[in-house]
Each structure stands twice: as structure tokens, then as C-alpha cells.
């Protein structure tokens, strides 16, 4: 089923409002979800609405949170999210970080006690649109084995970065610190397909190609990805006085309880380090030079980070966003949720 961005946004907002979130907050959540679907990041788009709606309806996301922000130093601050909608808390915290970075040249803002916030690219692009550099990291529940280990300890712990150029282009990347997302495992399982042997491990911690035996995911590039996911957990968990590693709350264990997650935004004002116009011109030059590189066999061109996502968005603007029929039926139906996620394991099973 193909729908316009505007219709998809409205359908998602209506469902999230029906679950109990106020209209303004439901609108922000839907902004982030629509952004993800429009960029082709469907794992963080409409497919999440039923889960969010069930958690909202059961009280695991605070409907009217007591959001607050306090500066702890000229360039540092803490945004208290009161287990409110993570998308909303992350956006409001980034607003504070942008204001601070424009004043002092740098901002480091931690978000405490939030729920899942979706695609981090949305938040770092907020900074880039203001001629700033945006970096964001966020912890998640344990489903990844440490390098050399056999039991899950860290989450997929994503990292996002965005920087502006002198034209409409923007560098954006948003990556998990695992080789592959769990959604890809589920896709292979649904098709009874094998997976590459570097994606995941079984219950004994051994590499597996059998998608039905996956018990935990593997970090990217072995010890390097392991180090990155640890760094993310330190910055968005331990640094903020929150649960870390295997102590991070499960996404599905108890949907009536808040998740107490952490996220860290770092915003840098290039104008405090170099001439802003020169900075943006050099970014544009770098992108131009990358596009001029001869592609290797099997590729038609060299893409810069974020380019293909924007190409998808342009295509969806013209032709509509493809939504799975079951999800569309749910969004247009009367049910708020079908009680499918509460008290499930780390893989929603």
C-alpha cells in the first residue's frame, strides 16, 4: 500500500493520540516516524506505532511528562524526560543544545529517563539545518555479545552525525554498532533463509547461519564495534547516572514500566573553530570530489553518507511511501493495539 507522507503522518498521529499521548507530542513522534519511513529506514517508522501505542496505553510512556532542562555548566545541560516519549524528549533536548551551541560554540546535553527515540538522524539533522555539527548517541537494551563473549551485554547502541554544506546537501549517517539489525534476521527467518555467518550467534555463543537459532547479534568489525558500543553506553548511560550494559531495561519485558534510557547530544558550532562559509564550502568540495571517484566493480557511483536516503525521500515524495498492508490496516482500523508486545523477550517473541 502506497500513501503520501502527509497521510501517513496523520494516520500515525491519530493512532498515537488515541493511545493517550497529547496532540502536540503525538505530532512530534509522528514527525520522526515519517522521517524514518521517507528515508527508507522502515524499521523505525510505521512498524513501531503499535508497539508505542501499547506502551502508551499501558502507562510505560508518561502521557503528560514533567519535562525539565537545567544547565550544569555554560556548555552542558541535563534534560529530564520523566519517561516521556523519547522522540519528544530528544527533540526538545536538541533544541536546547542548538541554542547553547550558538551562544557558547559547543553544547553537550544529556537526556535522562526517556523512552525509545527512533531514528537518531532526525535529531542531528536539526543541528545541521542550523549550520551546526550534530552528534547523538543512545543506549539500548542488551542483545549483542561483546567481542569474544557468548552472552549478550550491550545494545545495538547507535551513533549519528550530521554536518551542513554550502548547498542543500548534508552529510548524515546513523548507524547501529552491530553488523546487522535484528529486523534483517526476522526478514530472513520469515523467508526461511540463511544469514551470513558474521551477523549473529546461537545460544552457545557460536556463529550461526541459521536465522531461527539466533540468540544475540555481533558487533561491527569485531573489537572495534565492541569498543564503539561500549563508548556509547558510557556516554549515554554511566555518564548520566543511568543503568548500563546488561542492566538497561528491556524494550518488551514490561510495557507498564518506564524504560529510563539515556541519550547524549553533542553540538559544535563550526564558526567558533573556522570561517563558517569556508567550512561549508569544504564540505561541498569533499562531496563533489567523492562523486568524481571512479566506482568499483558492481557500483554505479560513490555515494556520500545520507545521499541514498534523500534519494529515497525524493522518490517517495513523487510516488508515495510503501507501507506493508497489515500495518496500513492497523493504522486505519479502530484497535489501539493488539496486546502483542508486553512481556516478550528481547526479540519481541
Catalytic amino acids? 116
Is residue 190 predicted with pLDDT exceeding 70?
A: no
Q: If you average pLDDT over residues 319-342, what whole number do you get?
A: 95
**Mean pLDDT score, 134-142:** 97
Question: Would you say the pTM of this structure is higher than 0.75?
Answer: yes
Sorted by where each begins, the domain ranges of the chain are 2-178+219-274+314-332, 179-218, 277-305
Least trusted range by pLDDT, from 183-197, 228-242, 317-331? 183-197
Rounded CA gap, 154 and 144, in Å? 5
Q: Which three cell numbers stand for residue 319?
A: 510516488
Bigger pLDDT: 79 or 348? 79
Residue 179 in this model has a pLDDT that exceeds 70: yes
What's the CA gap between 168 and 155, in Å, rounded? 34
Asked if 2-178+219-274+314-332 and 179-218 have one fold, the answer is no
Mean pLDDT along residues 282-306: 97
Say if residues 284 and 165 touch (Cβ distance below 8 Å). Answer: yes
Domain at 2-178+219-274+314-332: CATH architecture: 2-Layer Sandwich (3.30)
Assigned fold of 179-218: Wheat Germ Agglutinin (Isolectin 2); domain 1 (3.30.60)
Percentage of the chain with pLDDT > 90?
Answer: 92
The answer to whether residue 1 scores a pLDDT higher than 90 is: no
Q: What pLDDT, on the 0 to 100 scale, is given for residue 182?
A: 76
Average pLDDT over residues 265-280: 98
Buried b (16+ CB within 10 A) or exposed e, 89-126: bbbbbbbbbbebbbeebbbbbbbbbbbbbbbbbbbbbb
What value does the mean pLDDT take over residues 14-28? 98
Q: What is the 3-state composition of the chain as percent helix, strand, coil, each rounded to the nearest 5?
A: 40, 15, 40
Amino acid at each position: 500500500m502506497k500513501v503520501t507522507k502527509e497521510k501517513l503522518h496523520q494516520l500515525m498521529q491519530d493512532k498515537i493520540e488515541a493511545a493517550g499521548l497529547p496532540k502536540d507530542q503525538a505530532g512530534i513522534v509522528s514527525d520522526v516516524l515519517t522521517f524514518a519511513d521517507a528515508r527508507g529506514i522502515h524499521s523505525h517508522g510505521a512498524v513501531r506505532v503499535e508497539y508505542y501505542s501499547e506502551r502508551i496505553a499501558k502507562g510505560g510512556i508518561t502521557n503528560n511528562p514533567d519535562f525539565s532542562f537545567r544547565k550544569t555548566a555554560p556548555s552542558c545541560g541535563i534534560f529530564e524526560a520523566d519517561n516521556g516519549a523519547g522522540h519528544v524528549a530528544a527533540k526538545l533536548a536538541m533544541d536546547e543544545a542548538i541554542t547553547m551551541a550558538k551562544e557558547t560554540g559547543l553544547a553537550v546535553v544529556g537526556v535522562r529517563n526517556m523512552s525509545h527515540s527512533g531514528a537518531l538522524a532526525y535529531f542531528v539533522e536539526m543541528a545541521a539545518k542550523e549550520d551546526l555539527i550534530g552528534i547523538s548517541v543512545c543506549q539500548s537494551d542488551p542483545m549483542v555479545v561483546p567481542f569474544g563473549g557468548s552472552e549478550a551485554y550491550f545494545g545495538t547502541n547507535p551513533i549519528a552525525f550530521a554536518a551542513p554544506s554550502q548547498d542543500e546537501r548534508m552529510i548524515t549517517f546513523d548507524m547501529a554498532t552491530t553488523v546487522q539489525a535484528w529486523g534483517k534476521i526476522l526478514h530472513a527467518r520469515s523467508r526461511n533463509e540463511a544469514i551470513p555467518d558474521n551477523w549473529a550467534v546461537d545460544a552457545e555463543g557460536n556463529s550461526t547461519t541459521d536465522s531461527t537459532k539466533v540468540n544475540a547479534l555481533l558487533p561491527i568489525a569485531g573489537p572495534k564495534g565492541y569498543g564503539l558500543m561500549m563508548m556509547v553506553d558510557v556516554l549515554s548511560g554511566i555518564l548520566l547516572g543511568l543503568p548500563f550494559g546488561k542492566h538497561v531495561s528491556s524494550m518488551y519485558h514490561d510495557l507498564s514500566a518506564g524504560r529510563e534510557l539515556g541519550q547524549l547530544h553533542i553540538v559544535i558550532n563550526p564558526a567558533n573553530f573556522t570561517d563558517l562559509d569556508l567550512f561549508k564550502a569544504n564540505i561541498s568540495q569533499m562531496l563533489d570530489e567523492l562523486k568524481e571517484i571512479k566506482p568499483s566493480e558492481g557500483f554505479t557511483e560513490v555515494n556520500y553518507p545520507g545521499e541514498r536516503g534523500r534519494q529515497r525521500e525524493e522518490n517517495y515524495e513523487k510516488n508515495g511511501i510503501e507501507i506493508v498492508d497489515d500495518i496500513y490496516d492497523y493504522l486505519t482500523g479502530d484497535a489501539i493495539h493488539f496486546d502483542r508486545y508486553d512481556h516478550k523477550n528481547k526479540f519481541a517473541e
